[in-house]
Structure 1
């Protein structure tokens, strides 16, 4: 029986997909793979649920797929992150079993600084870190977010998820009941993750990205305004 459902979205990075799917499937814990394809058609028989969209629906479809997961854990996964060994998911599940049920785990996170703009917050990246331990933070970024399926489906109304962007901030807030310092950025994993998200497709390169994320923080983390 599968332990984790991995929800992938693809847009203009088909060259990454085959590698990512193979890396996810080779993890030491059993997984299901859901893929919402916003780009060109692909053929891959190792996908459990495949949806091909006639237009780029951006990020919100991954939460629609998460609403249909029936495994203990669900993992939101972007198309620019590589797994560099086969035990990453197993090690995250071990951490999750010792952590609050609403916690989210991922390689990139944010610690907000109340009263300051999102761009001036502390941004954490495991693949750039030399720290040997994980840290608590406020937001796990959408490159990868692993969490308990039951908690996600209980706390977030996923079937009517309409947000095109910044949904990682919204889910981080709702899973933590809008409290700070509830999630885990996996800095100790270091270069077990490899990000290739520096191309023109990356959302952080878009005009207005930081301001849109600041607005989401202001709405869903009341302490951010203090």
Structure 2
């Protein structure tokens, strides 16, 4: 698992890198903000440790630049800046956690593990194909990163299709996802939902085959 450490203090950076490597992480070490931004753009990291007092580009600027790239990698700020407004600014600016120096190494390692676990859980909640992305936990949908408003039934149908991406799902199975056993099923509910999804998200998102049902194809 690869981490990015952005820290200009040579002694602290070297010690952190050794500690992180000892517990099993691969660590890339950037010593200024420009290098950190370039590394985050070039490599997919499990987590970024970001000092705010970086040369060339300040850590807050680096944070904003990384988030502007739509990079959702967990970022933990490591800094001596301990005023409440500085912490609020860092968290509101896109950081996932804020740790003030000096810090306890075991606590930092626990925070790293927690952020990586959270990312892994979030990744399992997000499904994407053909420019469409849905977040099952947040119940949101986007098309080419732009939010799309779906009805509750449209979202449920889309969620079933994208969970079983590349497989045909019968109309009966989709109806079972929308209604409990005691509810009266409206005959055209699925057709209406499919029509709405194609209109909002694109006709290529859902394939229909007579006798088989509907399918969200995988991205080619």
TM-score, L = length of structure 1: 0.27
Q: Which has the higher contact order (CA 8 A, sep 6+)?
A: 1
TM-score, L = length of structure 2: 0.28
Between structures 1 and 2, the one with greater helix share: 2
Select the structure of larger CA radius of gyration.
2
